[in-house]
């Protein structure tokens, strides 16, 4: 018993959470900026910035809009694109506005062109072209969900309507750019589909998940064209008397297959909803927070999911990690930091606080170091990464900057890069296609044979 207890608490096995930090507001929306800071905001008031290097928080500029319950993703130039939000204090009523935030100048720009209608709980997805797909979101309590997908065209700063692809989808659909250039909707509905965003748009049903609807679940593209969904509930998102507990099941699909279909992978140790799923530099997926009980999401949990879990794509199994101190459920966020840690914050019942998780790989020896890397890389081209640890490097990965809210990270994705040793470092080959890595800023990690990641360099990929 004593040996098991010691192993269970060994940071090299289960990781380690920091003490809880007090933040100036709840982190309901969180974004890993290309400057290395984290931008976050709550239901109202000016957004804040947190610097992981100094642990200091500061005020960011106000957008001039109520961007609570908006959808967001990063543009190719590193600016944060934000669509929709909350109309005053009225529940289930959106706004038709969109804007962008420039982290380098701490300025917001409101777009003069409005969306076709309001959106509350939409999803934004950066496309291979650098334009942004905006989909779903509720207009108001009378008109319901906005069925018209729209593409924000960055060059002309105008909207293109996908008028032949109108479809009412649930809140915050799990949208992922697929290797074929289409956008795959992995949930939370049971029917999963491709959306071709060319022309006026076309939906193509692909495959049904086995479990059913996964409202308040989460989804991650853990490799090119490979997607994991986990947790969630079959009950409607805001039902007061849910008859079903959240599920512990998880499923995967490989869009590279001739006939893609969903299959069960390992189940988590316990069911959960309102959790967050975060890609790590080694390709594993960390799930934090959520609740195991059936309550309405805005109510306190009778069974908080404090224990974090990690999924290994090589084995399809979950491993219990150490536990958070604070209940991070509805309205919580989690973001990968350039140093390989994960900040978990917010939550209706977590309040204006955050804590930082150090995964087991940070307790497995010294880090490799990056001494030089380009700030810009080009699709398919080779680039040099300087490191004194070249002979020990086993992986090179690139992960998109976090842009997360309500349990879904709209901007994270991973690319596993091929590389070879060179004098003083590594020759690394950039992703070949924007279908696999849409243009923008990424965290570039090198990992040694012990699985320990470097501190990332933030690089920009484009044509």
Residue 29 has pLDDT above 90, yes or no: yes
Per-residue pLDDT at 117: 98
Per-residue pLDDT at 90: 80
Dig out the tokens for 278 from the structure: 């975060």
Q: How far apart are CA 184 and CA 194, in angstroms?
A: 5
- Measured from the Cβ of residue 275, the count of other Cβ atoms closer than 10 Å reads 28
Q: How far apart are CA 137 and CA 141, in angstroms?
A: 12
Minimal CA–CA distance to 103: which of 34, 179, 10? 34
pLDDT digits (tens, 9 = 90+) for 362-416: 999 999 999 999 999 999 999 999 999 999 999 999 999 999 999 999 999 999 9
pLDDT digits (tens, 9 = 90+) for 40-60: 999 988 899 999 999 999 999
CB 136 within 8 A of CB 144: no
Q: How far apart are CA 207 and CA 210, in angstroms?
A: 9
Q: How confident is the model at residue 339 (pLDDT cuts 50, 70, 90)?
A: very high
pLDDT digits (tens, 9 = 90+) for 277-308: 999 999 999 999 999 999 999 899 999 999 99
Dig out the tokens for 273 from the structure: 């909803």
- By three-state DSSP, how is residue 39 classified? strand
Residues of the chain with pLDDT > 70, as a percent, come to: 98
Per-residue pLDDT at 8: 62
Per-residue pLDDT at 89: 77
Minimal CA–CA distance to 44: which of 82, 85, 100, 83? 85
Dig out the tokens for 13 from the structure: 């096995």
Cα separations in angstroms, 164 against 30, 70, 86, 134: 33, 24, 27, 15
Q: How far apart are CA 448 and CA 426, in angstroms?
A: 13
CB 284 within 8 A of CB 303: no
CB 378 within 8 A of CB 461: yes
Yes or no: is domain 364-462 CATH 2.60.40.10?
yes
CB 271 within 8 A of CB 245: yes
Look at strands 250-254 and 263-264 and give their pairing: antiparallel
Pick the CATH number of 21-362 from 3.40.50.300, 3.40.1830.10, 2.130.10.80, 1.10.275.10: 2.130.10.80
Average pLDDT of the chain to the nearest whole number? 96
Q: CATH topology of 21-362 equal to that of 364-462?
A: no
Residue 6 has pLDDT above 90, yes or no: no
Domain ranges of the chain: 21-362, 364-462
Minimal CA–CA distance to 99: which of 58, 126, 66? 66
CB 72 within 8 A of CB 405: yes
CB 163 within 8 A of CB 146: no
Length of the chain: 463
pLDDT digits (tens, 9 = 90+) for 166-198: 999 999 999 999 999 999 999 999 999 999 999
pLDDT digits (tens, 9 = 90+) for 248-278: 999 999 999 999 999 999 999 999 999 999 9
């Amino acid at each position: 018993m004593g040996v098991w207890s010691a192993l269970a608490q060994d940071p090299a096995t289960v990781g380690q959470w920091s003490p809880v930090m007090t933040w100036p507001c709840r982190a309901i929306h969180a974004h890993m900026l290309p400057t290395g800071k984290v931008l976050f905001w709550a239901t109202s008031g000016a957004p804040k910035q947190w610097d992981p290097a100094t642990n200091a928080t500061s005020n960011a500029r106000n957008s001039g809009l109520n961007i609570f319950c908006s959808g967001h993703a990063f543009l190719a130039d590193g600016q944060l694109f934000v669509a929709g939000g909350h109309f005053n204090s009225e529940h289930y009523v959106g706004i038709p506005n969109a804007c962008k935030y420039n982290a380098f100048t701490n300025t917001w720009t409101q777009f003069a062109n409005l969306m076709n209608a309001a959106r509350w709980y939409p999803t934004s997805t950066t496309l291979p072209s650098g334009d942004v797909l905006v989909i779903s979101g509720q207009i108001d309590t009378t008109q319901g969900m906005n069925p018209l997908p729209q593409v924000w065209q960055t060059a002309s700063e105008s909207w293109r309507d996908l008028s032949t692809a109108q479809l009412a989808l649930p809140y915050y659909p799990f949208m992922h750019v697929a290797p074929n250039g289409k956008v795959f909707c992995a949930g939370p509905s049971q029917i999963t589909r491709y959306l071709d965003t060319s022309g006026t748009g076309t939906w193509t049903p692909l495959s049904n998940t086995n479990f059913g609807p996964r409202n308040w679940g989460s989804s991650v593209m853990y490799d090119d064209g490979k997607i994991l969904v986990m947790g969630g509930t079959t009950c409607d998102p805001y039902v007061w008397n849910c008859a079903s507990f959240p599920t512990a099941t998880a499923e995967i699909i490989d869009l590279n297959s001739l006939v893609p279909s969903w299959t069960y992978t390992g189940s988590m140790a316990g069911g959960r909803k309102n959790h967050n799923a975060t890609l790590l530099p080694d390709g594993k997926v960390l799930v934090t927070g959520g609740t195991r009980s059936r309550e309405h999401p805005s109510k306190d949990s009778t069974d908080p999911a404090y224990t974090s879990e990690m999924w290994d794509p090589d084995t399809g199994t979950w491993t219990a990690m150490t536990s958070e101190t604070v209940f991070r459920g509805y309205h919580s966020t989690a973001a990968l930091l350039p140093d390989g840690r994960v900040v978990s914050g917010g939550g209706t019942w977590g309040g204006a606080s955050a804590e930082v998780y150090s995964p087991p790989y940070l307790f497995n020896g010294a880090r490799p170091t990056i001494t030089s890397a380009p700030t810009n890389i080009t699709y398919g081209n080779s680039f040099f990464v300087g490191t004194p640890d070249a002979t020990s490097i086993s992986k090179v990965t690139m992960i998109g900057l976090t842009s997360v809210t309500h349990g879904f990270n709209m901007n994270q994705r991973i690319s596993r890069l091929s590389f070879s040793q060179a004098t003083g470092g590594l020759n690394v080959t950039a992703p070949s296609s924007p279908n696999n890595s849409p243009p923008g800023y990424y965290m570039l990690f090198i990992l040694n044979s012990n699985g320990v990641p470097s501190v990332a360099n933030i690089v920009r990929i484009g044509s």
